[in-house]
Amino acid sequence: MGNESMIGVVVIGLIVAFVVYKSFFSKDEVVESKPAPAPKPVTAPAPAKKAPAKSTVPSTAELNKKTKADLELLARDNGVELDLRKKKATLVKEARASFQQK
């Protein structure tokens, strides 16, 4: 009986050794290193073109949709300074008048 158990241990040892060998030294899973692809050159986007200023006077409804700060910038582009402490309705009238002066 001692011989049979010794053969069993050897067979199990060979099976374990085979499994370990296949898991660590398998030729199927060899990964070859390849150089990383070169990054594509980054092109700078074309500068945004400014839209030409509207030659028409914006409607009161269009101006009412803007903030007080936006109204001030529009009027400043037309050479008029607005006082932001005033009511928005007053600023809309003054901004609209600044377009008509142009």
Residue with tokens 């050159």: 41
CA distance 95 to 82: 8
Structural domains counted in the chain: 1
Mean pLDDT for 79-94 is 88
Residue 82 maps to a domain: yes
Residue 3 lies in a domain: no
Q: What's the domain range around 89?
A: 60-101
Separation CA 15–CA 68 (nearest Å): 83
Residue 97: per-residue pLDDT = 84
Band the pLDDT of 102: cuts 50, 70, 90: low
The tens digit of pLDDT for each residue in 42-76 reads: 777 767 666 555 457 788 898 889 898 888 888 88
User: Does some domain include residue 19?
Assistant: no
Whether residue 23 is predicted with pLDDT greater than 80 in this model: the reply is no
- Average pLDDT rounded to a whole number, residues 83-93: 89
Instruction: List CB contacts of 97: < 8 A, sequence separation 6 or more.
Output: 80
Chain-centroid distance of CA 43 in Å reads 17
Whole-model pTM: value is 0.44
Mean per-residue pLDDT over the chain, rounded: 79
Q: What is the mean pLDDT of residues 14-23?
A: 85
Give the separation between CA 68 and CA 76, rounded to whole angstroms.
12
Within-domain flag for 48: no
